[in-house]
């Protein structure tokens, strides 16, 4: 059995990564369709050894398509995902607009795959925010053993999390500084080259940013509504790979050694924690990898049962494209097994 798959936003950072991962993981496709805006019609995009010609989303008929992986932003998803889902094609959506909809499951397969079954209400499944995905992956196995009470997280997020234009801005500003040209922020609110900006997404009334709010709300939806979580999110001048400094307080005792062993055995996690020069993972080392890396596992001596972790992952992969493809794999090995349309 093979499936017809559409990638919406195929010319973007996440869309291109989705195509790469579908090919790397040999997803059983009968046909892959690359969709983007009208301006990209006819543009050529790689899919494994093949080249796909981009079509316009607005001209495409989804009636014979089994799965559509959306990464074209919230306004596109808001308009198109309900129509596409309504036409019988299952939507896996990377945008933020459906994540907290009670009729849309928010899935990280290693953490809450059984919740996927709820997709039938709208034929839409949401992919979490990049920072949330890598965080819950590391927290879940520890929560299973020692029950998490509270999490404090600071993120160091790469510019690719804000799309193609943001990567371009880091590149042009870096160059401009070296050649003494003026720096004019456009995508970001302040200079991003050689700087750190503690502002991702819009400000909320309580002073938090929406990115920080998303980490709280999404972690509760995916993992456990009883977990207290507070976040500070920052953008750093790194092209790909998000890092997180995570402090976790537990209800039950758990040592750093136990946590290291638990995380070594956890799906999707890779522990690199040598307590020596270079014995930890940094964002540049996680690029192109499937795993989420965990380093600097140590006791937090300020509470009864506490640990510190350093969690690093390729935001375009586990934070978006890989997780979306893993959800598609869950679908074809579960509810869509043997049910490709028009095969």
Provide the binding-site residues for ligand NAP, judged by CB under 6 A: 9-15, 36-37, 39-40, 57, 71-74, 76, 94-95, 130, 160-161, 163-164, 315-316, 319-320
Q: Which is nearer to ligand NAP, 97 or 138 (CB)?
A: 97
Query: Are the C-beta atoms of residues 147 and 176 closer than 8 Å to each other?
Result: no
**Closest separation between CB of residue 115 and ligand NAP, Å?**
19
**Closest separation between CB of residue 316 and ligand NAP, Å?**
5
Q: Which is nearer to ligand NAP, 14 or 271 (CB)?
A: 14
Q: Which is nearer to ligand NAP, 142 or 286 (CB)?
A: 286
How many angstroms separate the CA atoms of 288 and 147, rounded?
32
**Opening angle at CA 22, ends 2 and 109, nearest 5:** 95
**Closest separation between CB of residue 196 and ligand NAP, Å?**
18
**Closest separation between CB of residue 46 and ligand NAP, Å?**
14
**Closest separation between CB of residue 105 and ligand NAP, Å?**
16
How many angstroms separate the CA atoms of 255 and 55, rounded?
53
Q: Which is nearer to ligand NAP, 18 or 259 (CB)?
A: 18
User: Of 89, 97, 143, 242, which is the active-site residue?
Assistant: 242
Query: Are the C-beta atoms of residues 77 and 97 closer than 8 Å to each other?
Result: yes
How many angstroms separate the CA atoms of 164 and 61, rounded?
27
What does the longest C-alpha to C-alpha distance in the chain come to?
A: 60
Name the residue with the smallest CB distance to ligand NAP. Answer: 12
Q: Which is nearer to ligand NAP, 211 or 330 (CB)?
A: 211
Q: Which is nearer to ligand NAP, 160 or 173 (CB)?
A: 160
**Structure-block tokens of residue 11:** 């010319």
**Closest separation between CB of residue 124 and ligand NAP, Å?**
14
How many angstroms separate the CA atoms of 155 and 211, rounded?
10
User: Of 130, 233, 269, 286, which is the active-site residue?
Assistant: 130
Active site residue 242: yes
Helices assigned H by DSSP within the chain: 13-24, 74-86, 109-112, 130-146, 164-178, 210-222, 256-264, 283-286, 322-333
The b-or-e profile of 287-316 (16+ CB within 10 A means b, else e) is: bebbbbbbbbbbebeeeebbbbbbbbbbbb
Active site residues: 130, 242
């Amino acid at each position: 059995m093979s499936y017809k798959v559409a990638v919406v936003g195929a010319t973007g950072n996440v869309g291109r990564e989705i195509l790469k991962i579908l090919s790397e993981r040999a997803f059983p496709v009968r046909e892959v369709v690359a969709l983007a805006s009208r301006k990209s019609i006819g543009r050529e995009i790689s899919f494994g050894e093949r080249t796909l010609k981009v079509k316009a989303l607005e001209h495409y008929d989804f009636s014979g398509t089994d799965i559509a992986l959306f990464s074209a932003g919230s306004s596109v998803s808001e308009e198109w995902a309900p129509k596409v889902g309504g036409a019988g094609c299952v939507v896996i959506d990377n945008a933020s607009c459906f994540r907290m909809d009670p009729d849309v499951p928010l899935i990280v397969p290693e953490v809450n795959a059984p919740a996927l079954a709820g997709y039938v209400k709208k034929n839409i499944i949401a992919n979490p925010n990049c920072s949330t995905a890598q965080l819950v992956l590391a927290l879940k196995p520890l929560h299973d053993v020692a029950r998490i009470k509270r999490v404090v997280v600071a993120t160091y997020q790469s510019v690719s999390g804000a799309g193609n234009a943001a990567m371009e801005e880091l590149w042009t500003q870096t160059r401009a500084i070296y050649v003494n040209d003026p720096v004019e922020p456009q995508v970001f609110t302040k200079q991003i080259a050689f700087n750190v900006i503690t502002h991702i997404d819009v400000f909320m009334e309580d002073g938090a940013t929406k990115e920080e709010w998303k980490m709280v709300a999404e972690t509760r939806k995916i993992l456990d509504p009883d977990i207290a979580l507070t976040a500070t999110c920052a953008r750093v001048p790194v092209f790909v790979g998000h890092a997180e400094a995570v402090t976790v307080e537990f209800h039950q005792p758990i040592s750093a050694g136990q946590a290291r062993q638990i995380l070594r055995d956890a799906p999707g996690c890779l522990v690199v924690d040598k307590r020596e020069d270079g014995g930890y993972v940094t964002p540049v080392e996680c690029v192109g990898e499937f795993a989420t890396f965990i380093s600097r596992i140590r006791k937090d001596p300020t509470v009864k049962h506490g640990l510190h972790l350093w969690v690093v992952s390729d935001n375009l992969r586990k934070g978006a494209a890989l997780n979306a493809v893993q959800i598609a794999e869950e679908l074809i090995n579960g509810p869509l097994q043997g049910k490709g349309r028009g095969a």
